[in-house]
Structures are given as structure tokens and as C-alpha cells.
């Protein structure tokens, strides 16, 4: 399967890089990377929502005793939809998987980031667009990657609706997303059993976004 072959290559590259050091881009480097690709206000709002939620979960997970790098999660979230609008505006046709075009845009973004030496980030971005089940998440996803997947799965545009509302929406738009919802619900429960209050975090993010206007 092409996706699993990609995961093996991404894991290998990330492990090689990890023997040297985990290369995490600075905020300035992230902004420079993003400037090279098109964006739009709606995508920027979505990215910020995913980032706020993912980083808050990562920080709460650290307090609960999980081995998580919130800085890595922050950069993964900032870059997770790096080339999505670029694909539309440049005329690039992303190959569809089921009814989602996410896989191809994610793989292309991973290639861009890997060439810059950000293998850990590339590994996460290359995975985030593909519908994942619980077994795939356990075998191939680090906790930082699962936190990104949870945040991106839960977000609807720049909002964080209840699980059922998001599930109902995705049943229509992305029929292949069912296993991912179940997988991410299981992961959320795993965090919650250790004291990470996901719903409290969502309320806090909603309030923070509201305060920003």
C-alpha cells in the first residue's frame, strides 16, 4: 500500500535525523516557509484554531506525565496545511483518496519540509491528511502526531464543534473518515483517563478565540 510505504520511508528519515537532533524551525522560519505558498484568511483561521487546540492539549499532556514536545506540536500545527491553497491556485490537481484530497497535498508538503531538513515535521505533515484507524495510529504515529490528528479531526474550519456535529458533517463530506473519528475518540479518552480534560481545553480555546475578536 502506497501510504504504508510512505510511512516507512518517513519513519526512516525521521529516525536518521533524530540521531543528529530534532530540527524544529523557529517561528521566523515557519513564516518564511509559509510565505512561499499561497494562503487565504479562511485557511489561516483554521490553522490557528488547530494550533491553539493542539498546543493546549500538548501542554496539558505534559502536566499529566506524557512525554510530549509542545514546541514540536506548535510547528506541526502551523505547517499542517502548508500547500493546500497553493494546490488550488497553482492548478495542481491533488489526487483524491475516497472523497478527500488531503493525502496528496500532505505528501507534497512533507517533501517540501524534508528537503529543508525538518524531517520530524515532514513525517507528521505527510501523515495528517490520510484517514487513520486505531491500529495505524498506534503503530505509526508519535504522540505529537496523534495530538495534531486529534486537533485537525475535531476542528471544523475555524470552529471546534461537538464530536457528533463533526462526525455528522464528515459522514457527508468525507465518508472514509469514520475510522479516524473512532481512533481519535479513543486517543482522547486515553488522555482523559490521565487527567487531560479535552472538553475544558476546547472551551478555553473558544474563549481565547472569542477574546481575540
In 3D, which of 89, 137, 131, 129 has the Cα closest to residue 110? Answer: 129
18: confidence class by pLDDT, cuts 50, 70, 90: very low
Of the ranges 65-74, 86-95, 173-182, the best mean pLDDT one: 65-74
Give me the pLDDT at residue 83, please.
Answer: 79
Mean pLDDT score across all residues of the chain: 80
Give me the pLDDT at residue 123, please.
Answer: 86
> What are the tens digits of pLDDT across the range 21-77?
458 999 999 999 988 886 788 889 999 999 999 999 999 999 999 999 999 999 999
Q: Which cell numbers in the block locate residue 120? A: 520530524
In 3D, which of 148, 128, 146, 129 has the Cα closest to residue 137? Answer: 146
Count each helix (H run) and each strand (E run) in the chain, helices first.
Answer: 12, 0
Give me the pLDDT at residue 213, please.
Answer: 45
Sequence-distant (≥ 6) Cβ neighbours of residue 97 within 8 angstroms: 103, 104, 130, 131, 176
Distances (CA, A) of 58 to 8, 54, 71, 111, 171: 25, 6, 9, 25, 28
174: confidence class by pLDDT, cuts 50, 70, 90: confident
In 3D, which of 77, 76, 155 has the Cα closest to residue 120? Answer: 76
Q: What's the whole-number mean pLDDT along residues 153-159?
A: 92
Give me the pLDDT at residue 103, please.
Answer: 66
CA 127 to CA 72: how far, in whole Å?
Answer: 15
> What are the tens digits of pLDDT across the range 41-57?
888 999 999 999 999 99
**Is 1.10.3470 the CATH classification of the domain at 2-206?**
no
Sequence-distant (≥ 6) Cβ neighbours of residue 91 within 8 angstroms: none
Give me the pLDDT at residue 64, please.
Answer: 97
Q: What share of the chain is helix, strand, coil (3-state, %, to 5)?
A: 75, 0, 25
pTM comes to 0.83
**CA 98 to mean position of chain CA atoms:** 19
Q: Which cell numbers in the block locate residue 139? A: 503503530
Amino acid at each position: 500500500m502506497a501510504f504504508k510505504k510512505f510511512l516507512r520511508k518517513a519513519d526512516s528519515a525521521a529516525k536518521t535525523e533524530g540521531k543528529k537532533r530534532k530540527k524544529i524551525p523557529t517561528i521566523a522560519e515557519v513564516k518564511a516557509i509559509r510565505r512561499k505558498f499561497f494562503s487565504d484568511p479562511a485557511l489561516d483561521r483554521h490553522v490557528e484554531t488547530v494550533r491553539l487546540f493542539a498546543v493546549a492539549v500538548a501542554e496539558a499532556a505534559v502536566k499529566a506525565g506524557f512525554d510530549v514536545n509542545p514546541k514540536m506540536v506548535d510547528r506541526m500545527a502551523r505547517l499542517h496545511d502548508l500547500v493546500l491553497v497553493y494546490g488550488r491556485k497553482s492548478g495542481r490537481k491533488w489526487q483524491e483518496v475516497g472523497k478527500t484530497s488531503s493525502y496528496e497535498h500532505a505528501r507534497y508538503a512533507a517533501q517540501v519540509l524534508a528537503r529543508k531538513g525538518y524531517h520530524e515535521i515532514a513525517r507528521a505533515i505527510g501523515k495528517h491528511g490520510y484517514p487513520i484507524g486505531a491500529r495505524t495510529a498506534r503503530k505509526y504515529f508519535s504522540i505529537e502526531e496523534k495530538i495534531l490528528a486529534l486537533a485537525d479531526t475535531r476542528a471544523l474550519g475555524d470552529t471546534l464543534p461537538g464530536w457528533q456535529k463533526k462526525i455528522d458533517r464528515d459522514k457527508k463530506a468525507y465518508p472514509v473518515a469514520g475510522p479516524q473519528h473512532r481512533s481519535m475518540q479513543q486517543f482522547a479518552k486515553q488522555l482523559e483517563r490521565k487527567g487531560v480534560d479535552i472538553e475544558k481545553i476546547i472551551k478555553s480555546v473558544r474563549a481565547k478565540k472569542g477574546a481575540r475578536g
